[in-house]
Structure 1
Amino acid sequence: MDITEEKVDNLNAILKIQIGKEDYESRVGDVLKDYKKKVRLDGFRPGMVPVGLIKKMYGKAVLIEEINKIISESISKYLIDKDLKILGEPLPSDKEQKTIDWDNQTDFEFAFDLGLAPEFDMNLSKKDKIAFYKIKIDQKLRDTYIENYTRRYGTFTPVEMAGEKEMLKGSIRQIDAEGNITENGIYAEDTSFSIEIIKDKKIKDKFVGTRIKDVINFDIKKAFPNDQEIASILYINKDDVPALSSDFQFTINEISRFENAELNQEFFDKAFGKDKVKTVEEFEILVENEIKNNLTGEEEFKFSLDVKEKTINKLEIELPVEFLKKWLFRINEGKVAKEEIDKDFEKFEKDLKWQLIKDKVIKENEIKITEDEALDYAKKVTLMQFQQYGMTNISDEQLENYARELLKKEEENKRIYEKKYEEKVIEFIKELVKIDLKEVTTDEFNKLFDKK
């Protein structure tokens, strides 16, 4: 067997593999001998089917399978031995591959296109400037956080008369054009909705000022253009909503107003655990720290995007574009049109370049992730998940237990390590370049994303 590499250019090569009879004959023979022991054929005792007949029945398929194995093994060994870095996978060459006659040939030649990983230098220095946007913490932001906390632990209080934001609870019935209850029509005994979400102003005005036991006839599809909202109110399938054409009658049984929680000990205990916060001042300090932590995450996320963009643009990494497009088409088995690949290729190209940069930084600087670092990152991810559901009073022991369980899941473990590696790569690049610190308001910071 002989393998030769022909360079097309710095990013493309052709790998040619010549396989002779001596490379596959014994392997094919061993497989056919094994078939002979196992094949059951009418007229022959087990294990007594002639080799010639076995070869006639299975020889060609076995030959193709064994040669494919030899090719795969040979390519893998060649790439390792030559320390050849490729992108994607070797593809049968459309231009160089000769037609194979499996019935008559004994020697074979195969040609594969290779997309070569580009060589590049990390030529970043303090001459390269990347902005780091620091968000100012103003009173508006503090008030927003406090409002979110008090709303999260707020309660509904019964009231006698409905305003524009009250929650109504009662029964709803389908009615005909004359306002009569439709026999066997849609009926929900115990349903509710907020007046605030009614979209039609005239219908909303009908409900404002109502009291318990008042009855309102209205066009439900005008009031709630969202089919899912109507389905939830009527307890019907969302797919049945478009067919509705009649009005509905709502009888009010309860009226309640949502009130944010007061800043008292009951609220502090619910939000943070028994006696962990005892004064408004302690609560405000905790909120301030939470804002800082959250903003740090947002600031670092924005910085990571800018680092990626700056690094990719500065290094000007070239890729074997046509090879990669062909490879993407092949691995998707024709399920994705070439036009679709062309459309999405720019994003794929940027992601691949960033992956190459990360791999280079990690390898050349021997960056490692310790188990403790992975655990700390998993704890941070876990805490964010809890906070999304309003769960803030999680003990350190609970947090660590959940984080350890998260790391036991293969996909989550891989994701956490990848994120932590990326974090370290960002920090490495941060030390290479000059950081241009800019202080911005929340609104100014949010507008930075609109520019992309």
Structure 2
Amino acid sequence: MNITKNNIDDLNAVVTVEINKEDYSDKVEKILVDYKKTANIPGFRKGHVPMGLVKKQYGKTVLVDEVNKLLQENLNKYLVDEKLDILGNPLPRMQEEFDWEAENFSFEFELGLAPTFDIDLKKNAITQYAIVADDKMIDGQVENIRKQYGKLTSQDEVTKESEVTGVFTNEEKEIENNATFSLDKLEGKKNKDKFIGAKVGDTIELNTKKLFENDHDLMNFLKVAHDDVHDLDIEVSFKINEANTRELAELNQELFDKLFGEGNVSNLEEVKAKIKEDAEKQFVQQSDQRLLNDVTEELIENTKFDLPANFLKKWIQSAGEQELTVDQAEEEYAKSEKGLRYQLIQDRLIKDNEVQVQFEDLKAFAMQMIRAQMAQFGQLNPSDKELEDIAARILSNQDEVRRLTDQLLSQKLLDLFKEKANLKKKEVTYENFVKEVYGDSH
């Protein structure tokens, strides 16, 4: 057997695999001898079928099967041994007048080669947001806590201080959702006036455009998709089922102990410090995700290299269960090109910076996530054995292993970007972060 590679250009090559009779003849002969022993052909006793008849009936099928096995095994071994970095899979070149009656065979495969390129993490400065909880946010949280733990008093009629509970409906959009909100969440005097003076049991007709000050409230109260909520302009009905006022809870030690555990907080200033600390911990996750997205976009935009586009389109055509048309393959390639570019960039970053995910890293990462989830449900001090047992169950599931590996890899790449990228730090309030990153409509 002989395998050779001919480079067409930097991104395309053709591999030729030559298989000779001596590569397959012994194996084919052995299989046919076994067939002879077991063949059940009318007119002959089992095991006494003439070899000539066995070869005539099964010979070509066995030959094709064995040659194809040899072809795949040796081609794959060649790609590994030669350390060829290919995209997609080798594509067999169609040969007219291929003759299976010949003794020696030659097969050709097209290869799409991965490009070589350099990554410059320092090229352009990228904003790294440090989100702080300002006094306005902290005071708002204190107010929410006092409302949440305050005394609820039922009303027959809605006032401007009311909190209303009812059902939003719109038949055309199939909206029927229960919601509770205070009138200060509504945007504009006109909307608030529709509620003030209304009685429990009344139905109010509203338009969703500029109904709430925050589009995310509209999304949550109507249960519509994020992409659909912006500029949503439909009529909805709201039937008032309850109207209540809340007497704000007193800021006393009983409330502090209920919120933060006995004796951990003893005055309003300490409450505000705790709210600030907890909020800013959560903000780190959001700023980190934004940084990861921004560096990713920057790398895709400014790491220039060509791809073997024609090869990849041909490969996409035949890679799925059903063969695609040329136009469909073009469309799929256009949709997947950006992802492929980042995958190549990510692979290069991982290789150049020796980023690895070891099993012990994965186990520690899983235990950390489990501990955080248990803390949300009030289990603050689980034992190491308890964490290890849950982690072992999770890591026995291959889908979970893949999911956690991807998350941990993202975390390691984020750490790499924080260490090596050209970052410009910017301190913002959460409100300004949302405006700057997502725009005013969020």
Q: Please, which moves more after superposition, 367-376 or 306-315?
A: 367-376
Q: CA RMSD in A?
A: 4.5
SS in 1 for 2:314: helix
Once residues 117 and 52 of structure 1 are traced to their aligned partners in structure 2, the CA distance between those partners, rounded to angstroms, is 49
Rounded Cα–Cα distance in structure 2 between residues aligned with 1:147 and 1:323: 61
For 1:130, give the aligned amino acid.
I
> Do the aligned residues in 1 keep the contact of 2:199 with 2:240 (CA within 8 Å)?
no
Match of 1:369 among 348, 352, 357: 357
* 1:397 pairs with 2:395: no
> 1:58 matched to which residue of 2?
58
Q: Which residue of the partner structure matches residue 138 of structure 1?
A: 134
Deviations 1:147-178 (A, max 9, x none): 67678x66995725253744469xxxxxxxxx
Aligned residues: 395
Residue 145 (structure 1) shift: 5.1
Shift of 1:299: 1.3
Whether the 8 Å CA contact 1:358–1:422 is kept in 2: the answer is no
- Call closer, same or farther: CA 1:336–1:450 in 2, change over 3 Å: farther
The equivalent position to 1:445 in structure 2, one of 420, 433, 442, is 433
Change (3 A) 1:309 1:365: same
Identity %: 33
Partner of 1:397, secondary structure, is coil
The 5-angstrom pairing of residues 313-324 of structure 1 reads 313-324=301-312
Per the TM alignment, residue 117 of structure 1 is displaced from its structure 2 partner at its CA by 1.3
| TM-aligned CA distance change 1:92 to 1:140, over 3 Å | farther
Q: Does 1:412 align with 2:400?
A: yes
Paired AA for residue 100 in structure 1: F
CA gap 1:316/1:385 in 2 versus in 1, 3 angstroms: farther
C-alpha spacing 1:256/1:436, structure 2 compared with 1 (3 Å): closer
Instruction: Write out aligned runs for 1:267-346 (5 A).
Output: 281-334=269-322, 338-343=326-331, 345-346=333-334
Q: What amino acid sits opposite 1:142 in the alignment?
A: I
- CA gap of 1:291–1:158, structure 2 versus 1, over 3 A, is closer
Partner in structure 1 of residue 14 of structure 2: 14
Secondary structure of the residue that 1:113 maps to in structure 2? Answer: strand
Within 2, Cα distance between the matches of 1:340 and 1:441? 46
Equivalent position SS for 1:118: coil
| CA–CA separation in structure 2 for the residues paired with 1:158 and 1:7 | 81
Q: State the match for 1:100 in structure 2.
A: 98
Amino acid at match of 1:122: I
**Following TM superposition, by how much is the alpha carbon of 1:13 offset from its aligned partner in structure 2, in angstroms?**
0.5
Runs of 5+ consecutive residues of structure 2 not aligned to the other structure:
168-176, 184-189, 209-220, 223-238
> Paired residue for 1:161, among 156, 159, 165?
156
Question: Following the alignment from structure 2 to structure 1, what is the Cα–Cα distance between the partners of residues 252 and 49?
Answer: 89
AA matched with 2:387: E
TM-score w.r.t. length of structure 1: 0.70
SS in structure 1 of the partner of residue 434 of structure 2? helix
Cα 1:11–1:159 change in 2 (3 A) is same
Aligned to 1:2: 2
- Shift of the 434–365 alpha-carbon distance from structure 1 to 2, 3 Å rule, reads closer
- Judge conservation of contact 2:166–2:240 (CA < 8 Å) in 1: no
How far apart are 1:36 and its partner, in Å? 3.5
Counterpart check, 1:115 vs 2:100:
no
* Shift in Å, 1:116: 0.6
Contact 2:165 2:240 in 1 (8 A): no
With over 3 angstroms needed to count, the CA separation of the structure-2 counterparts of 1:281 and 1:314, relative to structure 1, is: same
SS in 2 for 1:439: strand
For residues 58 and 258 of structure 1, the distance between their equivalents in structure 2, rounded to whole angstroms, comes to 86
Moved more, 322-331 or 67-76: 322-331
